[in-house]
Structures are given as structure tokens and as C-alpha cells.
């Protein structure tokens, strides 16, 4: 047996060569499945309380810092950011979240099915807690703006 020949152990030369191609079909299949998974789950990752805001023709107010959002759903339940809060504990949690900065903007998002009295009760609780920059949010008429792009209407005093 010669030293330089490639064999399969019985002295014959092997006719098979190593395959130099990469099969990318499984890679493409996996990537497409991952893409579909991310496309389906991405809309579900947006956080927030589902609130059907009323329409208004108010112009957007310039914002210097990210405001704190208080939401009231159709059942009249109060949410601070995404967490459900009891009305008596709302001011305490707002003070903790704003680090006792009473000049921090607070936006109140109320579902249009909620009574005006319930929204005013929540806004008065916030203002009695010392916060001065409280505003109602409304959807702009004629636009399909996302909740982050909605403009506050008349601020409460």
C-alpha cells in the first residue's frame, strides 16, 4: 500500500469526495418561523390599559419630561401606568413615582364610557395631593395617532 493514496482501509481508493456545499434550506426555514413568531408577538408587547379615548381638536402641548399616566377603564377602575391602584392609595403612589416633584405632568386617560363625575373625582384626588399639572388626554379627530402621540386637552387647576 502506497503512503500517498487515500483509501478506505482495503487498499482501494475512495470515490466519494467531501461535500463542499452548505444546505441553507433548514436555516431559512428556522429564520422564517422566528420572523413569524416575532411578527405575531410584537403587537402584544405594547403595554397599557385598553381605553377608548374621546375625540378632541386640541393642539399638542410641548412636553419637557415623560409624564405619568393615570388611566380609567370602562368599568371605572384606576390604573397608574399599567398597575391597578385603589383611589385612596393613588396620591401616595404618584408621590413615590414622581419623587415628590409636584410639578411633574400627570395625564389622565378616561374611557369615554366612564362618567364625567368619576373622572373629576380622580382628578380632584390628584390635585388635592398637591400636583398642579394635571391634564386630560383625548384622541385627535381625523387622526389615528398612537396613545403616546395623543395630545392633552385643557389642564386642570
CB atoms within 10 A of CB 119: 18
Please count the structural domains in the chain. 1
DSSP 114: S
Q: Give the span between the Cα atoms of 131 and 101, in whole angstroms.
A: 8
What pLDDT, in 10s, does the model give residues 105-153? 888 888 888 888 888 898 898 888 888 888 888 777 765 444 444 445 5
CATH number of 148's domain: 3.30.420.270
In a domain, 24, yes or no: no
Judge whether 5 lies within some domain. Answer: no
Query: Does the residue 145 lie in any domain?
Result: yes
pLDDT (mean) for 74-82: 86
Average confidence (pLDDT) over 54-69: 71
Q: Cell triple for residue 69?
A: 399616566
Q: What is the Cα–Cα distance from 140 to 151, expressed in whole angstroms?
A: 7
Look at residue 76 and tell me if it is in a domain.
yes
Whether residue 42 is contained in a domain is answered as no
pTM exceeding 0.85? no
pLDDT digits (tens, 9 = 90+) for 4-54: 555 555 666 667 877 778 888 999 999 999 999 999 888 777 666 777 777
Q: Please indicate, yes or no, if residue 50 is contained in any of the structural domains.
A: no
pLDDT for 52: 76
DSSP 144: -
What mean pLDDT value characterizes the chain?
A: 77
Range of the domain at 134: 55-156
In a domain, 18, yes or no: no
**What are 81-90's pLDDT values in tens digits?**
888 888 888 8
Q: How far apart are CA 153 and CA 54, in angstroms?
A: 11
Per-residue pLDDT, 13 = 67
- Residue 87 forms part of a structural domain: yes
Amino acid at each position: 500500500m502506497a503512503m500517498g493514496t487515500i483509501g478506505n482501509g482495503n487498499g482501494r481508493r475512495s470515490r466519494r469526495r467531501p461535500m463542499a456545499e452548505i444546505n441553507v434550506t433548514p436555516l431559512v426555514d428556522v429564520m422564517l418561523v422566528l420572523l413569524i413568531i416575532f411578527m405575531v408577538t410584537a403587537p402584544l408587547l405594547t403595554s397599557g390599559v385598553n381605553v377608548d379615548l374621546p375625540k378632541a381638536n386640541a393642539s399638542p402641548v410641548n412636553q419637557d419630561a415623560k409624564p405619568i399616566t393615570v388611566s380609567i377603564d370602562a368599568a371605572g377602575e384606576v390604573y397608574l401606568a399599567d398597575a391597578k391602584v385603589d383611589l385612596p392609595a393613588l396620591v401616595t403612589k404618584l408621590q413615590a413615582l414622581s419623587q415628590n416633584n409636584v410639578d411633574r405632568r400627570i395625564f389622565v386617560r378616561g374611557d369615554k364610557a366612564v362618567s364625567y363625575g368619576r373622572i373629576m373625582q380622580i382628578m380632584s384626588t390628584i390635585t388635592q395631593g398637591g400636583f398642579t399639572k394635571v391634564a386630560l388626554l383625548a384622541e385627535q379627530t381625523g387622526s389615528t395617532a398612537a396613545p403616546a402621540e395623543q395630545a392633552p386637552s385643557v389642564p386642570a387647576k
